[in-house]
Structure 1
Protein backbone atom coordinates (compact mmCIF):
# COMPACT_ATOMS: atom_id res chain seq x y z
CA UNK A 1 0.00 0.00 0.00
CA UNK A 2 1.17 3.51 -0.83
CA UNK A 3 0.51 5.81 2.14
CA UNK A 4 0.15 9.55 1.54
CA UNK A 5 0.03 11.26 4.95
CA UNK A 6 -0.59 14.85 3.88
CA UNK A 7 -0.67 16.05 7.49
CA UNK A 8 3.12 15.80 7.51
CA UNK A 9 3.29 18.63 4.97
CA UNK A 10 2.73 22.32 5.64
CA UNK A 11 -0.61 23.31 4.13
CA UNK A 12 -4.00 24.78 5.03
CA UNK A 13 -5.18 21.17 5.43
CA UNK A 14 -3.76 21.18 8.96
CA UNK A 15 -5.97 24.12 9.93
CA UNK A 16 -9.07 22.18 8.95
CA UNK A 17 -7.90 19.13 10.91
CA UNK A 18 -7.21 21.34 13.94
CA UNK A 19 -10.77 22.69 13.84
CA UNK A 20 -12.18 19.16 13.57
CA UNK A 21 -10.33 18.13 16.71
CA UNK A 22 -11.09 21.24 18.79
CA UNK A 23 -13.87 20.42 21.29
CA UNK A 24 -15.20 23.98 21.14
CA UNK A 25 -15.25 24.42 17.37
CA UNK A 26 -16.73 20.97 16.76
CA UNK A 27 -19.88 22.02 18.64
CA UNK A 28 -20.85 23.70 15.37
CA UNK A 29 -21.96 20.66 13.37
CA UNK A 30 -22.29 22.62 10.13
CA UNK A 31 -18.68 23.79 10.39
CA UNK A 32 -17.60 20.25 11.30
CA UNK A 33 -19.22 18.86 8.16
CA UNK A 34 -17.76 21.67 6.05
CA UNK A 35 -14.25 21.02 7.32
CA UNK A 36 -14.52 17.34 6.43
CA UNK A 37 -15.82 18.34 3.00
CA UNK A 38 -12.88 20.71 2.49
CA UNK A 39 -10.44 18.00 3.55
CA UNK A 40 -12.09 15.72 1.00
CA UNK A 41 -11.46 18.32 -1.68
CA UNK A 42 -7.78 18.63 -0.78
CA UNK A 43 -7.23 14.87 -0.61
CA UNK A 44 -9.12 14.46 -3.88
CA UNK A 45 -6.95 17.07 -5.57
CA UNK A 46 -3.78 15.28 -4.48
CA UNK A 47 -5.25 11.94 -5.55
CA UNK A 48 -6.06 13.35 -8.98
CA UNK A 49 -2.36 13.80 -9.71
CA UNK A 50 -1.90 10.01 -9.82
CA UNK A 51 -4.69 9.31 -12.33
CA UNK A 52 -4.11 8.62 -16.01
CA UNK A 53 -4.69 11.50 -18.41
CA UNK A 54 -5.43 11.96 -22.07
CA UNK A 55 -5.19 14.98 -24.34
CA UNK A 56 -8.29 16.67 -25.63
CA UNK A 57 -8.58 19.57 -28.05
CA UNK A 58 -11.10 22.22 -27.06
CA UNK A 59 -12.31 25.17 -29.06
CA UNK A 60 -12.29 28.59 -27.43
CA UNK A 61 -13.80 31.76 -28.96
CA UNK A 62 -10.31 32.65 -30.20
CA UNK A 63 -8.78 29.32 -31.15
CA UNK A 64 -8.03 25.71 -30.23
CA UNK A 65 -6.20 24.47 -27.13
CA UNK A 66 -4.93 21.05 -26.07
CA UNK A 67 -5.78 20.13 -22.46
CA UNK A 68 -4.87 17.03 -20.41
CA UNK A 69 -7.89 15.54 -18.62
CA UNK A 70 -8.39 12.39 -16.48
CA UNK A 71 -9.48 9.41 -18.55
CA UNK A 72 -10.38 6.87 -15.83
CA UNK A 73 -13.90 5.81 -14.94
CA UNK A 74 -14.32 6.50 -11.23
CA UNK A 75 -16.61 4.91 -8.65
CA UNK A 76 -16.83 6.93 -5.45
CA UNK A 77 -18.09 4.93 -2.45
CA UNK A 78 -18.76 6.35 1.01
CA UNK A 79 -19.45 4.46 4.20
CA UNK A 80 -22.67 5.70 5.83
CA UNK A 81 -23.27 7.90 7.65
CA UNK A 82 -20.00 9.54 8.65
CA UNK A 83 -18.62 9.32 5.12
CA UNK A 84 -21.21 11.65 3.57
CA UNK A 85 -19.38 15.00 4.06
CA UNK A 86 -16.13 13.44 2.85
CA UNK A 87 -17.99 11.97 -0.14
CA UNK A 88 -19.34 15.42 -1.00
CA UNK A 89 -15.87 16.96 -0.91
CA UNK A 90 -14.57 14.33 -3.31
CA UNK A 91 -17.66 14.65 -5.51
CA UNK A 92 -17.05 18.42 -5.77
CA UNK A 93 -13.89 17.57 -7.71
CA UNK A 94 -14.83 14.24 -9.30
CA UNK A 95 -18.28 15.34 -10.41
CA UNK A 96 -18.46 12.80 -13.23
CA UNK A 97 -17.82 9.83 -10.93
CA UNK A 98 -20.40 7.11 -10.43
CA UNK A 99 -21.52 6.81 -6.82
CA UNK A 100 -21.90 3.94 -4.37
CA UNK A 101 -23.07 3.86 -0.74
CA UNK A 102 -22.61 1.22 1.91
CA UNK A 103 -23.68 1.01 5.54
CA UNK A 104 -21.45 -0.40 8.25
CA UNK A 105 -21.80 -0.34 12.02
CA UNK A 106 -20.24 -1.85 15.12
CA UNK A 107 -22.29 -4.69 16.58
CA UNK A 108 -21.57 -5.37 20.28
CA UNK A 109 -24.44 -7.81 20.85
CA UNK A 110 -22.16 -10.81 21.39
CA UNK A 111 -19.56 -8.98 23.43
CA UNK A 112 -21.37 -9.42 26.79
CA UNK A 113 -20.77 -5.81 27.75
CA UNK A 114 -17.16 -5.75 26.60
CA UNK A 115 -16.94 -2.62 24.47
CA UNK A 116 -13.56 -3.71 23.13
CA UNK A 117 -15.07 -6.65 21.21
CA UNK A 118 -17.39 -6.10 18.28
CA UNK A 119 -18.17 -7.15 14.74
CA UNK A 120 -18.56 -4.72 11.86
CA UNK A 121 -21.87 -5.45 10.12
CA UNK A 122 -22.62 -4.41 6.55
CA UNK A 123 -26.31 -4.55 5.67
CA UNK A 124 -26.83 -2.13 2.77
CA UNK A 125 -24.98 -1.61 -0.49
CA UNK A 126 -25.92 0.31 -3.61
CA UNK A 127 -23.18 0.31 -6.24
CA UNK A 128 -22.65 0.38 -9.98
CA UNK A 129 -20.26 -2.08 -11.63
CA UNK A 130 -16.66 -1.55 -10.54
CA UNK A 131 -15.13 -3.80 -13.17
CA UNK A 132 -11.91 -2.26 -14.53
CA UNK A 133 -12.75 1.10 -12.95
CA UNK A 134 -10.97 3.15 -10.28
CA UNK A 135 -12.62 2.75 -6.88
CA UNK A 136 -12.36 5.51 -4.27
CA UNK A 137 -13.44 4.46 -0.76
CA UNK A 138 -14.30 7.36 1.55
CA UNK A 139 -14.20 6.61 5.29
CA UNK A 140 -13.28 9.55 7.54
CA UNK A 141 -12.04 7.52 10.52
CA UNK A 142 -9.70 4.59 9.92
CA UNK A 143 -9.71 3.16 13.45
CA UNK A 144 -9.28 -0.63 13.46
CA UNK A 145 -9.53 -1.13 9.70
CA UNK A 146 -12.31 -3.71 10.10
CA UNK A 147 -14.94 -1.47 8.50
CA UNK A 148 -12.84 -1.01 5.39
CA UNK A 149 -12.12 -4.74 5.27
CA UNK A 150 -15.81 -5.71 5.43
CA UNK A 151 -16.70 -3.00 2.93
CA UNK A 152 -14.09 -4.29 0.50
CA UNK A 153 -15.39 -7.85 0.85
CA UNK A 154 -19.01 -6.78 0.34
CA UNK A 155 -18.17 -4.89 -2.84
CA UNK A 156 -16.31 -7.74 -4.54
CA UNK A 157 -19.55 -8.96 -6.10
CA UNK A 158 -19.73 -5.76 -8.16
CA UNK A 159 -16.61 -6.39 -10.20
CA UNK A 160 -12.86 -6.06 -9.80
CA UNK A 161 -11.56 -2.48 -9.90
CA UNK A 162 -8.25 -1.89 -11.64
CA UNK A 163 -7.18 0.54 -8.91
CA UNK A 164 -8.29 1.33 -5.34
CA UNK A 165 -7.83 4.58 -3.45
CA UNK A 166 -8.81 4.96 0.23
CA UNK A 167 -9.53 8.49 1.48
CA UNK A 168 -9.63 9.14 5.24
CA UNK A 169 -9.38 12.13 7.54
CA UNK A 170 -7.74 10.53 10.58
CA UNK A 171 -6.40 7.02 11.09
CA UNK A 172 -4.61 5.06 13.78
CA UNK A 173 -1.28 3.39 13.18
CA UNK A 174 -2.98 0.06 13.95
CA UNK A 175 -5.78 0.66 11.46
CA UNK A 176 -3.40 1.71 8.70
CA UNK A 177 -1.27 -1.38 9.31
CA UNK A 178 -4.39 -3.61 9.24
CA UNK A 179 -5.59 -2.08 5.96
CA UNK A 180 -2.16 -2.69 4.40
CA UNK A 181 -2.65 -6.41 4.94
CA UNK A 182 -6.19 -6.46 3.53
CA UNK A 183 -6.00 -4.44 0.32
CA UNK A 184 -3.94 -5.08 -2.82
CA UNK A 185 -0.34 -3.86 -2.70
CA UNK A 186 -0.96 -1.12 -5.27
CA UNK A 187 -3.74 0.48 -3.18
CA UNK A 188 -3.24 4.15 -2.27
CA UNK A 189 -4.24 5.63 1.10
CA UNK A 190 -4.79 9.40 1.20
CA UNK A 191 -5.05 10.66 4.77
CA UNK A 192 -4.86 13.95 6.66
CA UNK A 193 -3.42 12.63 9.96
CA UNK A 194 -2.29 9.37 11.57
CA UNK A 195 -2.52 9.07 15.38
CA UNK A 196 -0.58 6.65 17.53
CA UNK A 197 -3.16 4.54 19.35
CA UNK A 198 -6.70 3.34 19.97
CA UNK A 199 -8.75 3.56 23.16
CA UNK A 200 -10.18 0.51 24.94
CA UNK A 201 -13.33 1.06 22.83
CA UNK A 202 -11.28 1.17 19.61
CA UNK A 203 -11.64 4.91 19.06
CA UNK A 204 -8.66 6.82 17.70
CA UNK A 205 -6.65 8.72 20.36
CA UNK A 206 -6.44 11.70 20.35
CA UNK A 207 -8.65 11.54 17.25
CA UNK A 208 -11.72 13.75 17.35
CA UNK A 209 -14.57 11.63 18.74
CA UNK A 210 -17.43 10.11 16.73
CA UNK A 211 -17.45 11.75 13.30
CA UNK A 212 -20.99 10.59 12.53
CA UNK A 213 -22.43 12.00 15.76
CA UNK A 214 -20.53 15.28 15.38
CA UNK A 215 -21.76 15.66 11.82
CA UNK A 216 -25.40 14.62 12.19
CA UNK A 217 -26.31 14.36 15.88
CA UNK A 218 -25.93 11.72 18.57
CA UNK A 219 -27.53 8.39 17.67
CA UNK A 220 -29.38 6.13 20.12
Structure 2
Protein backbone atom coordinates (compact mmCIF):
# COMPACT_ATOMS: atom_id res chain seq x y z
CA UNK A 1 0.00 0.00 0.00
CA UNK A 2 1.33 3.43 -1.02
CA UNK A 3 0.98 6.63 1.01
CA UNK A 4 1.84 9.89 -0.76
CA UNK A 5 2.85 12.64 1.68
CA UNK A 6 2.90 16.07 0.10
CA UNK A 7 4.86 18.94 1.62
CA UNK A 8 2.39 21.81 1.41
CA UNK A 9 1.97 23.81 -0.67
CA UNK A 10 4.72 23.33 -3.22
CA UNK A 11 4.24 19.57 -3.39
CA UNK A 12 0.56 19.63 -4.40
CA UNK A 13 0.95 19.73 -8.22
CA UNK A 14 3.51 16.90 -8.18
CA UNK A 15 1.34 14.97 -5.69
CA UNK A 16 -1.65 15.23 -8.03
CA UNK A 17 0.45 14.08 -10.97
CA UNK A 18 1.48 10.98 -9.04
CA UNK A 19 -2.13 10.32 -8.00
CA UNK A 20 -3.10 10.32 -11.68
CA UNK A 21 -1.12 7.06 -11.98
CA UNK A 22 -1.37 5.65 -8.44
CA UNK A 23 -5.00 6.50 -7.79
CA UNK A 24 -5.56 3.81 -5.14
CA UNK A 25 -2.90 5.22 -2.82
CA UNK A 26 -3.54 6.86 0.52
CA UNK A 27 -2.64 10.49 1.16
CA UNK A 28 -0.86 12.47 3.85
CA UNK A 29 -0.22 16.20 4.03
CA UNK A 30 2.30 18.17 6.03
CA UNK A 31 2.92 21.90 6.15
CA UNK A 32 6.52 23.02 6.32
CA UNK A 33 7.94 26.47 5.84
CA UNK A 34 11.18 28.32 6.43
CA UNK A 35 11.34 30.81 9.28
CA UNK A 36 14.38 33.01 8.77
CA UNK A 37 15.82 34.05 12.11
CA UNK A 38 16.11 37.85 12.39
CA UNK A 39 15.84 37.98 8.57
CA UNK A 40 19.32 36.47 8.30
CA UNK A 41 20.64 33.58 6.26
CA UNK A 42 20.00 30.92 8.94
CA UNK A 43 16.52 29.44 9.23
CA UNK A 44 14.39 26.94 11.08
CA UNK A 45 11.78 24.77 9.40
CA UNK A 46 8.38 25.11 11.05
CA UNK A 47 5.84 22.27 10.85
CA UNK A 48 2.32 23.35 11.79
CA UNK A 49 0.04 20.71 10.29
CA UNK A 50 0.19 16.98 9.67
CA UNK A 51 -2.58 14.65 8.58
CA UNK A 52 -1.60 11.06 7.80
CA UNK A 53 -2.94 7.52 8.00
CA UNK A 54 -0.98 4.79 9.75
CA UNK A 55 2.31 4.23 7.95
CA UNK A 56 3.09 0.86 9.51
CA UNK A 57 4.45 -1.54 6.90
CA UNK A 58 3.43 0.74 4.01
CA UNK A 59 5.47 2.45 1.32
CA UNK A 60 5.78 6.16 2.12
CA UNK A 61 6.40 8.52 -0.80
CA UNK A 62 7.36 12.04 0.31
CA UNK A 63 6.60 14.58 -2.42
CA UNK A 64 8.57 17.84 -2.34
CA UNK A 65 9.66 19.42 -5.64
CA UNK A 66 12.72 21.22 -4.24
CA UNK A 67 15.48 19.60 -2.17
CA UNK A 68 17.77 22.47 -1.20
CA UNK A 69 19.39 21.94 2.22
CA UNK A 70 17.48 18.85 3.31
CA UNK A 71 16.27 20.56 6.52
CA UNK A 72 12.62 20.32 5.46
CA UNK A 73 12.89 16.60 4.77
CA UNK A 74 14.61 16.04 8.13
CA UNK A 75 11.74 17.78 9.90
CA UNK A 76 9.15 15.91 7.85
CA UNK A 77 10.69 12.57 8.85
CA UNK A 78 10.79 13.56 12.53
CA UNK A 79 7.15 14.70 12.47
CA UNK A 80 5.75 11.75 10.55
CA UNK A 81 7.42 9.06 12.71
CA UNK A 82 4.49 9.15 15.15
CA UNK A 83 2.26 7.69 12.40
CA UNK A 84 4.19 4.42 12.24
CA UNK A 85 7.18 2.82 10.59
CA UNK A 86 6.99 2.45 6.81
CA UNK A 87 8.67 -0.55 5.20
CA UNK A 88 10.17 1.72 2.53
CA UNK A 89 10.50 5.46 1.97
CA UNK A 90 10.74 7.14 -1.41
CA UNK A 91 11.43 10.86 -1.84
CA UNK A 92 10.27 12.39 -5.13
CA UNK A 93 11.76 15.78 -6.06
CA UNK A 94 12.29 17.74 -9.23
CA UNK A 95 15.39 19.79 -8.43
CA UNK A 96 17.92 19.32 -5.66
CA UNK A 97 21.34 20.50 -4.60
CA UNK A 98 24.35 18.29 -4.02
CA UNK A 99 24.38 19.46 -0.39
CA UNK A 100 20.72 18.58 0.15
CA UNK A 101 21.07 15.14 -1.44
CA UNK A 102 24.08 14.36 0.78
CA UNK A 103 22.23 15.64 3.85
CA UNK A 104 19.21 13.43 3.18
CA UNK A 105 21.43 10.42 2.49
CA UNK A 106 23.11 10.86 5.87
CA UNK A 107 19.85 11.38 7.80
CA UNK A 108 17.25 9.05 6.33
CA UNK A 109 17.21 5.29 7.01
CA UNK A 110 18.70 2.76 4.58
CA UNK A 111 15.29 1.81 3.19
CA UNK A 112 15.03 5.27 1.57
CA UNK A 113 15.22 5.89 -2.18
CA UNK A 114 15.57 9.34 -3.76
CA UNK A 115 13.98 10.03 -7.15
CA UNK A 116 15.11 13.40 -8.48
CA UNK A 117 15.09 14.86 -11.98
CA UNK A 118 18.18 17.09 -11.72
CA UNK A 119 20.82 18.16 -9.23
CA UNK A 120 22.25 21.68 -9.23
CA UNK A 121 25.69 22.37 -7.79
CA UNK A 122 25.14 25.38 -5.57
CA UNK A 123 23.05 26.97 -2.84
CA UNK A 124 22.71 30.68 -2.10
CA UNK A 125 23.70 32.09 1.30
CA UNK A 126 20.04 31.71 2.33
CA UNK A 127 19.94 28.04 1.32
CA UNK A 128 18.11 28.30 -2.00
CA UNK A 129 19.12 26.22 -5.02
CA UNK A 130 21.15 28.03 -7.70
CA UNK A 131 20.00 28.28 -10.41
CA UNK A 132 16.95 26.26 -9.29
CA UNK A 133 13.57 27.48 -10.45
CA UNK A 134 12.48 29.85 -7.70
CA UNK A 135 9.74 29.19 -5.15
CA UNK A 136 7.78 26.16 -6.42
CA UNK A 137 4.72 27.04 -4.32
CA UNK A 138 4.66 30.61 -5.62
CA UNK A 139 5.05 29.40 -9.21
CA UNK A 140 2.04 27.08 -8.81
CA UNK A 141 -0.26 29.18 -6.64
CA UNK A 142 0.98 32.78 -6.65
CA UNK A 143 3.03 34.77 -4.20
CA UNK A 144 2.17 34.36 -0.51
CA UNK A 145 0.49 37.34 1.12
TM-score when normalising by structure 2? 0.98
1:207 to 132, 135, 138: 132
Residue in 2 that maps onto 1:112: 38
Residue in 2 that maps onto 1:127: 52
2:99 paired with 1:99: no
Residue in 2 that maps onto 1:136: 61
More strand by share: 2
More helix by share: 1
SS at match of 1:93: coil
2:106 paired with 1:177: no
1:11-22 aligned at under 5 Å gives the runs none
Cα distance between partner residues in 1 of 2:32 and 2:110: 24
TM-score when normalising by structure 1? 0.65
Q: Which has the larger radius of gyration?
A: 1
Residue in 1 that maps onto 2:12: 84
Structure 1 runs of 4+ with >6 Å offset: none
CA RMSD of aligned residues (A): 0.7
1:192 to 90, 105, 117: 117
Cα distance between partner residues in 1 of 2:39 and 2:7: 26
